[in-house]
Amino acid sequence: MCESSFGVIYLWKDVYGTEFTRSGNFLVLRYKSPDNDFTSYAFPFGDPDDDAALKALLLELKNEADASCFPLCIGPMVKEDMERLERIFPGKFEFTPFRDQADYIYSRDKLADLPGRKLHGKRNHISNFKKDGDWSYEAVTDENIGECLEIDRSWLEAKNSNGSAVNEAVIEEQSAVHYALKNMKELGLTGGLLRKSGRAVAFAIGEPLTDEVYCVHIEKALSSVDGAYPVINQEFARNACAGYKYINREDDNGDEGLRRAKLSYYPEIILDKYYAVLKN
């Protein structure tokens, strides 16, 4: 899942109040709400076979949660984590699926080539964008990061243009975008920038998640430029994601428009995630 990547952990650290520590052979992440009225933990990263050590660690986390008068909450986690937790503490946790955080995972080749009748509309948008030949794709570098920030600013202005207040999730995302663009080298991120008639109109940023999976953290385009979104999606898959089998494009955060857009590319996997709360 995308939460396993260092990029996600770092880029969203201010939003989730992320703290970390090492306990034996496990890495533990703790998340705190902005007003410190709730604490939760990621499913510990570490030895996948040492259930005894994991059980001892989880009991320590329970004691910490009890001392803070919070229920022990762990997540997000995938199905295998949930099954392991149930095996270690049978019947002790209540599990809740969280569809808004499910990851959309695609075949890299399909995103790069868009084959078949179902993706015919995407190919048409891309053809219209590219038909005059006046477009280009390049890597994000120190020289063009400013243009990416300008795209992000214009994207936010478009969100504000209808007069309604921008929701909290959009504001939080702006912080992550700026962290990514200003710390790309240090975080080991790669990016791609799309131009139309010389103008920067879209960019994407991500990082390898495993030897087979590339994770796309950010994708922004000017909504006024028809085809910019499908073209940056395709070109980023062809270039930055070359050599990987799958592309994880992360979740939709419950945004219905974003959900429709991600489903329209027909993911190979919708990776369900769960939260676990210790029963009283």
CA trace torsion 177, 182, 186, 190 (10° rounding)? 60
Total length of the chain: 280
Residue 158 domain flag: yes
Residue 258 domain flag: no
Residue 256 domain flag: no
Please check whether residues 131 and 246 belong to one and the same domain. yes
Please check whether residues 83 and 108 belong to one and the same domain. no
> Domain containing 185: what range?
103-250
Please check whether residues 48 and 124 belong to one and the same domain. no
Please check whether residues 77 and 151 belong to one and the same domain. no
Residue 130 domain flag: yes
Residue 213 domain flag: yes
Please check whether residues 109 and 246 belong to one and the same domain. yes
Please check whether residues 7 and 141 belong to one and the same domain. no
Residue 171 domain flag: yes
Please check whether residues 86 and 123 belong to one and the same domain. no
Bond preceding residue 71 cis, omega within 30 of 0: no
Place of tokens 């890299």: 108
Please check whether residues 86 and 122 belong to one and the same domain. no
Please check whether residues 133 and 94 belong to one and the same domain. no
Residue 259 domain flag: no
Q: How far apart are CA 223 and CA 152, in angstroms?
A: 11
Q: What is the CATH number of the domain that holds 97?
A: 3.40.630.30
Please check whether residues 161 and 126 belong to one and the same domain. yes
Please check whether residues 54 and 180 belong to one and the same domain. no
Q: How confident is the prediction along the chain (280 residues), in pLDDT tens digits per residue? A: 999 999 999 999 988 999 999 999 999 999 987 676 678 999 999 988 899 999 999 999 999 999 988 899 999 999 999 999 999 999 999 999 999 999 999 999 999 999 999 999 999 999 999 999 999 999 999 999 999 999 999 988 887 776 555 567 777 888 899 999 999 999 999 999 999 999 999 999 999 999 999 999 999 999 899 999 999 999 999 999 999 999 999 999 898 999 999 999 999 999 999 999 999 7
| Total count of domains within the chain | 2
Burial call 4-34: b when 16+ CB within 10 Å, e when fewer = bbebbbbbbbebbebeeeeeeebebbbbbee
Please check whether residues 96 and 127 belong to one and the same domain. no
Secondary structure class of 141 (helix, strand, coil): coil
DSSP state of 223: T
pTM of the model: 0.92
